[in-house]
Amino acid sequence: MAILADAESQILVQGITGREAVSFVRDSLDYGAKVAAGVTPGRGGSDVHGVPVYDTVKEAVKRHKIDVAVVAVPAGFAKDAAFEAIENGVPLVVVVTERIPRRDVAQVLELADIQRARVIGPNTMGFICPGKTKVGSVGGPARDTVKAFTPGPVGVMSRSGGMTTEVCNLLTHSGLGQSTAISVGGDAVIGSTFLDLLPLFEQDPETKVVVTFSEPGGNVEAALARYLKTKGTRLPIVSFIAGSFMDNMPGVRFGHAGSIVEGKQDTVAEKARRLREAGVLVADDLSQIPDLVKKALKQKTPRK
């Protein structure tokens, strides 16, 4: 099974006539995803790769049952686009736009909480349920996606969009398929963290292990470690934290806004220590992930 979406999920793309969206919509359609509609104000009545375009989300949801909205508009319009999707009843909003002001993101997340919608991102490449659907640009062209991703028991969550594909490609070539792989977003404030998404993987009977790809900065790993130490999980977790070189090079920045190191607690070494104390299998090198996943699959999983 998959989480967040499946082969029947209907996708709406806001900003569908933009260059980035035109590209990933083609890739999604080639992969078999059901992109049902798009929205670009003033372009209603046109189409993109055969997908009908509407002027508003309200018009689109009248004609299509939309399960997921992808926000692919400039940063200055992203808050309004996300609001429009949430207010029109779309339960899952994936915000691929980056450099959105934090205040705007906070307002989107507050509305989503009120309306009981889920937000992935911002600054995400989306997510993929191998063999079923892909939402956003993760995986790139379909011909590359089918090589890197394959159905299986490993759930993947990554703070880096590009490394979502790299991790899954590594797993695939080691004979380990994925249930769902999610680029959670590289900004400092995001809608769904590792901790927010872990319960969804726990509820999926076909997910047997979870892999996380982390970076320096932020508190998502610390929050996950605290949860695991107090409540545990039925799923073994394997984690890799990139950027260990930053621990010895003060002032050096990773690429994402969410990777700002504000103190010792944000360093790779401290994150790794906390995760190990919580029972996570932490890889010292990316290449160790497949072997640790195989080890975790053989072990008796911890009880929640």
Q: Which residues are catalytic?
A: 256
What is the distance between the alpha carbons of residues 131 and 27, in angstroms, rounded to a whole number? Answer: 14
Closest alpha carbon to 39 in 83, 98, 91, 5: 83
CB 209 within 8 A of CB 180: no
All residues at 6 or more sequence positions from 298 whose CB lies less than 8 Å from its CB, including other chains: none
Q: Which residues pair with 48 in a beta bridge?
A: 51
Three-state SS at 167: helix
Cα-based distances in Å from 218 to 42, 166, 254, 286: 39, 22, 12, 20
Closest alpha carbon to 239 in 267, 215, 258: 215
Structure tokens at 273: 């220590």
Note the Cα 114 to chain centre separation in Å: 22
Structure tokens at 36: 């049902």
